[in-house]
Amino acid sequence: MPISVVVSDFIDAMVPDPFLNQNSAINAARKRVPAPYLKYQVTALVCQATGGPCQYIGRTMKNSHAHLNITEAEWDRMVVIFKEVLAKHKVPGSEQQELLEIVGSTNGDIVMSGAAQ
Ligand code: HEM
């Protein structure tokens, strides 16, 4: 299963999600940023993180998410959506684990810190 297919479904599930869009900053950004752009960037990031050969040339996770004020609850919702997409595509357990670890490693840069409030 190509990474791009899983990422594409993941973005398609994230963008219209009612819980995430209760956050007005997320809702505004998804209307402004084209989904195909996000699919391209996230695919390159995951491809690079899993060994290449792609190169991610987008912004850092901190720079691209700071203005979204993402909470721990919104993060948890994202993880639920991600797991649903992995299960739907029957991604093997060991690869699911690897992908969840890659995503998990970005939590500190993506979820807003108390100090930033
Ligand atoms: C609750 C969790 C998340 C939400 C709601 C979210 C939402 C968004 C939004 C709205 C943007 C566009 C921001 C803008 O340009 O104004 C964005 C960009 C991006 N996100 Fe996320 N994101 C989440 C988690 C993640 C995770 C876990 C990853 C990767 C492991 C990721 C990777 C990216 C990348 C690569 C970009 C593009 C950066 C660039 O434009 O250079 N995001 N995200």
CA–centroid distance, residue 21 to ligand 1 (Å): 14
| C-alpha 44 – ligand 1 centre gap (Å) | 13
Q: Is 52 left (phi over 0), alpha (psi -120 to 50) or beta?
A: left
Taking the CB of residue 91, how many other CB atoms lie within 10 A of it?
18
Report how far ligand 1's centroid is from the alpha carbon of 26 (Å): 10
Surface-to-core class of residue 90, CB atoms within 10 Å of its CB (0-12 exposed, 13-18 middle, 19+ buried): exposed
Ligand 1 pocket test: pick from 4, 11, 37, 64 the residue with the most ligand atoms within 8 Å of its Cβ: 64
The token pair at 12 is 């398609």
Mean pLDDT of 91-111: 95
Which residues lie closer than 8 Å to 97 by C-beta, 6 or more apart?
Answer: none
| Length in residues, the chain | 117
Mean per-residue pLDDT for 107-116? 80
pLDDT of residue 114: 53
Condensed to tens digits (0 to 9), the pLDDT of residues 11-55 reads: 999 999 999 999 999 999 999 999 999 999 999 999 999 998 999
pLDDT at 96: 95
Lowest mean per-residue pLDDT among 2-16, 53-67, 79-93, 100-114: 100-114
Is 31 touching ligand 1 by the criterion CB < 6 Å? no
Q: Is the peptide bond before 53 cis (omega within 30 degrees of 0)?
A: yes
52-78 pLDDT, tens digit per residue, is: 899 999 999 999 999 999 999 999 999
Res 2: pLDDT: 86
pTM of the prediction?
0.94
